[in-house]
Amino acid sequence: MQIQIEKSGNSIQSITWNSLIPIREEIPIPIAKLTIPQISLEEPLFAKDSQENNLDKHIIFLKESAMPDEENQIVLIAGHSGIGENAYFKNLDQLSIGEEVKLTYQNQDYLYTIMNRIIENKIGAIHFFTRPDKSYLVLTTCMPNEKGKQLTLVAEKKEPIN
């Protein structure tokens, strides 16, 4: 076996053996999980700066999102609807005002109650109203079967449950 070690100063840059360079790939670890039993949804969420925080792969935290442990803030989550294996929000339109959604983050479960359903033209922005003294979870997706429309659900945070 032939081994070649490439160094720069005191650090090893790469190790090659038999002309093969091993690839060390980080395994992405979810930081949260969204659970909506009414529509049989249980999906992981990844850090905002992770390559896995990608609509082509998962539901995502929008870059403007706060995290659920932050008080009086808004957690923003988006996902695809329609068809395909990554259409995780395809049944989001079936949720009603008063139903609960659970977001698990750092081994803490946060419950949110849906307070508002907004359907509007899809223009690259979402519009909703909140109170500055409350925390919210906002879920958004394209409106299934209504081309050019988007659905936004605004849910108010209840007390942590564990």
Distance, CA of 45 to CA of 53 (rounded, Å): 7
Q: Which residue has the tokens 């990608």?
A: 54
119-143 pLDDT, tens per residue? 999 888 888 888 999 999 999 999 8
pLDDT number for residue 82? 81
Q: Which residue has the higher pLDDT, 9 or 58?
A: 58
d(CA 85, CA 83): 7
Per-residue confidence at 159, pLDDT binned at 50, 70, 90? low
Which two tokens mark 135? 């925390």
CATH no. of 26-157? 2.40.260.10
CA–CA gap between residue 55 and residue 53 (Å, rounded)? 7
Q: Residue 153: which of 103, 104, 99, 114 has the closest Cα?
A: 114
Q: What beta strand segments (E) does 37-93 contain?
A: 41-45, 60-61, 74-78
Q: pTM of the entire structure?
A: 0.81
Boundaries of every domain in the chain: 26-157
Residue 8 scores a pLDDT above 80: no
What are 52-102's pLDDT values in tens digits?
999 999 999 999 999 999 999 999 999 999 888 899 999 999 999 999 999
In this structure, which amino acid lies at residue 58?
H
Average pLDDT over residues 102-111: 95
Contact between residue 63 and residue 50 where contact means Cβ atoms under 8 Å apart: no
Please, which pLDDT band fits residue 146 given cuts at 50, 70 and 90? Answer: confident
Report the C-alpha gap between 21 and 14 in whole angstroms: 8
